[in-house]
Structure 1
Amino acid sequence: MRVLVVDDDFMVARIHSGYVSRVPGFSVVSVAHNGAGALAAAAELRPDLVLLDIYLPDMSGLEVLKAINDVDVLMISAARDVPTVKEAMRGGAVNYLIKPFTAAALTERLQQYADTRRRITAIGPQARQDDVDRLFGTPMTTAPMPKGLSPATCALVADSLREAGRDLSATEAAQLTGLSRVSARRYLEYLCAAGQAELRPRYGTAGRPEHRYRWLG
């Protein structure tokens, strides 16, 4: 994912660029420090995502948001008043992160964005209602999600399990989703607890049975 970082503070822009560069699959293609520079860079470079500050010296980041076409925008700002957040939502921002934030917080938003992009690509030309529900964040289940698990990543694991058309081990699910085996197993166990999947032990000739998971929907 190619990212344009926009912030009037040169040091903050450098820090945010460093955060982005450490997330696998993301790279910074340019940095802008005002609205005019942001619009010019977006038009020339066509990044996948813009990290956009609101307080810029020549215009509001909200104006930039409305002027950018066909580029996703993640707002990053110290502004926390509800009217500003609502205007960012109406303008089409994919997310909104309040400054100051940690590298982990930005990493989580970027991974959610990447997960959404992958799901959109996997859907194909026609979407089902459950596809749309996942894209718009409609809960798949009322079961509480354990701390540390991401709804977007859970949807990715659920999609992989459903589309496999057979039972999967945690290792196989990890290979399909790009997660670690431990992380994949946690999501699979959550899907079982939520009634979306079932555990099916496979007994071999010796030793403990292999845990395999099947999609129930």
Structure 2
Amino acid sequence: MIGVLIVDDDYMVARIHEGFVKRCEGVEVVGVAHDPAAALEAAARLQPDLVLLDVFLPGASGLDILAGMREAAPDMDVIVVTAAREAETVKRAVRGGAVQYLMKPFTFADLRERLQHYRQTHRALPEGKVPEQTEVDRLFAAPRTTAATLPKGLSVETLQLVAQVLSDAGGDLSAAEAAELAGISRVSARRYLEHLTDTGRAEVRLRYGEVGRPERRYVGR
């Protein structure tokens, strides 16, 4: 389970973000902070895996305390969530090591997409493993599952559902098996699985029987 610390000066916004995170698989809220001092204390005490960090905090920018938070929690990653749109702010976030930059206002689907991407990439490389280039590419790539980039007839929400089913399976699945787990038709499941394969988030394994064509089975990356 990935522990998330939420840092936002607006109590209502922080509560909304907390509700969003609680609806996502594989993550949990371990703390909420509303000012720089509380954020630094929470990072040191809670040692979160991930921080949702606002830029506009009372007395200091969230980016100003980023180095201190990293010193307090060396294994912590950061997703900047802010209304700040200035190019220099974005550049500072990148230089500070933020893994994503999400502009307010955003939807639950926007945040879920980034949390799932983080879960499937930044936490997918165990200590001591020597990764392949494709795994490194996925680590540094931004999420690509936006409605504008999906093939016609596919939805972001169902794609995320099928990707989650594949991730939770712990092994390979046929289109029929994925369809049953996701509660969609086999034809639809096959389309989503092929899209995941085309975009590098899954791979195909062929299972050969005694007769007929080999069965296509899918495993998440």
Flag whether TM exceeds 0.5 (same fold).
yes
Distance change >3 Å, CA 192–CA 63, structure 1 → 2: closer
Residue number among 129, 132, 138 corresponding to 1:125 in the alignment: 129
How far is 1:174 from its partner? 8.1
SS of the aligned residue for 1:13 comes to helix
1:5 paired residue number: 6
Aligned residues: 197
Query: For each residue in 1:97-145, what CA deviation from the matched residue of structure 2 results, as whole angstroms up to 9, or x when unmatched?
Result: 1111111111111111111134323x85212222212222299xxxx75
Residue of structure 2 in register with 1:135 after alignment: 139
Look up the SS of the partner of 1:47 in the other structure: coil
The residue type paired with residue 79 of structure 2 is: L
Structure 1 segment 153-168 matched on structure 2, within 5 A: none
Q: Per the alignment, do residues 174 and 29 of structure 1 end up closer, same or farther by CA in structure 2, a change over 3 Å counting?
A: farther
Give 1:86's aligned residue. Answer: 91
Instruction: Give the TM-score taking structure 1 as reference length.
Output: 0.72
* 1:33 partner letter: H
Which letter does structure 2 place at the counterpart of 1:95? Q
Distance change in 2, residues 1:135/1:55 (3 Å): same
- Residue 38 of structure 1 corresponds to 39
Match of 1:18 in 2: 19
Change (3 A) 1:29 1:12: same
Structure 1: gaps of 5 or more residues: none
Matched AA of 1:4: L
Alignment of 1:96-111 (within 5 A): 96-111=101-116
Query: Secondary structure of 2:124's partner?
Result: helix
Work out the percentage of aligned pairs sharing the same amino acid: 50
CA RMSD of aligned residues (A): 4.0
Question: Runs of 4 or more off by more than 4 Å in structure 1?
Answer: 171-175, 181-184, 191-205
Query: Residue 43 of structure 2: SS of its match in structure 1?
Result: helix
CA apart distance, 1:197: 4.7
Unaligned runs of 5+ in 2: 144-148
Which residue in 1 is equivalent to 2:182?
180
2:50 aligned partner: 49
**Structure 1 residues 118 and 54, CA, compared in 2 at 3 Å: closer, same or farther?**
closer
Task: Note closer, same or farther for the CA distance 1:173–1:132 as it changes in structure 2 (3 Å cut).
Answer: farther
CA gap of 1:25–1:35, structure 2 versus 1, over 3 A, is same
